Homo-oligomer: A and B are copies of this chain.
Amino acid sequence: MPTSRAPLSTRRVLQAALALADSGGADSLTMRHLGRELGVEAMSLYRHVANKDAVLAGILDMVVSEIDLPEPSKDWKAAMRHRGVAAFRVFTLHPWAPPLLMSRTNTGPSMLRYIDFTLGVLRGAGFSWRLADYAWNTMDSYVYGYTLRRLAFPIAPADYAETASAHQHLLAGDRYPHMAELTRQVAEGRHSGDPDITFGLDLILDGLERLRDTEPAT
């Protein structure tokens, strides 16, 4: 029986790379491992992708393309809110992606589409170009920062109270009095300790709205 194997292609390589990163994180995405996954030697992959960097750029664009854009008919605040939440959700499904996204310049088509859509929403809502630019940058800084912090944090929100109880003694001294008290609040169930992404999103959106309404005419 001769080896009958679906032929490789850039597309197949990228799909396998995405699956690999999703299942084992960024560290498990090596050219050798990727080759093994496709039943092929590592070097064979270089027929279809220039190098590992191209693989990363490719799967990052695939991830960004998953971010759901709401129909532009929506109220601009709802649309922007939706956009932020959608990005967070997608990144949660691909937790290896945000660190990579942030450490490289991403100008893939999906990212450009995402930005262009956002600018369109803001312009449609009456923002000046200057303010629209500031607005989406501020939104994205927050969303990426929130997402990264959340993904790097080793404790699930559901376990905050329990963890706070268990570690309270570590803050027993009076070196960090406020953290100690905050930890106590969480341990006693008086504060969840879990800032939802919408807290900051709405805070920023309300602020942007106010700026739009008070901005000198452009």
- Chain A interface residues (CB < 8 Å from chain B): 99, 102-105, 112-113, 115-116, 119-120, 123, 129-130, 132-134, 137-138, 140-146, 148-149, 152-154, 175-179, 181-182, 185, 190-191, 193, 195, 199-200, 203-204, 206-208, 210-211
Contact = CB atoms under 8 A, between A and B. Distances in A.
A29 to B, nearest CB: 15
Given A99-B102, A103-B99, A203-B138, A179 B116 contact: yes
A19 to B, nearest CB: 22
A141 B134 contact: no
A210 B130 CA distance: 25
A71 B207 CA distance: 28
24 contacts: A102-B148, A102-B152, A103-B148, A105-B152, A115-B176, A119-B178, A119-B179, A123-B178, A134-B200, A137-B149, A137-B195, A138-B200, A138-B203, A140-B145, A140-B149, A141-B200, A142-B200, A144-B145, A144-B149, A145-B146, A148-B148, A200-B204, A203-B204, A204-B204
A209 to B, nearest CB: 11
A189 to B, nearest CB: 12
Nearest to A191: B130
A176 B116 contact: yes
Given A123-B178, A129-B181, 7 more contacts: A102-B102, A116-B179, A119-B179, A119-B182, A129-B191, A134-B200, A203-B208
Contact of A199 (B116, B138, B143, B177): B138
Contacts of A191: 129-130, 133
B207 A203 contact: yes
Given A115-B179, A123-B178, A185-B129, A149 B200 contact: no
Given A179-B115, A182-B119, A208-B203, A148 B137 contact: no
Nearest to A112: B176
A177 B72 CA distance: 15
Contacts of A203: 138, 204, 207-208, 211
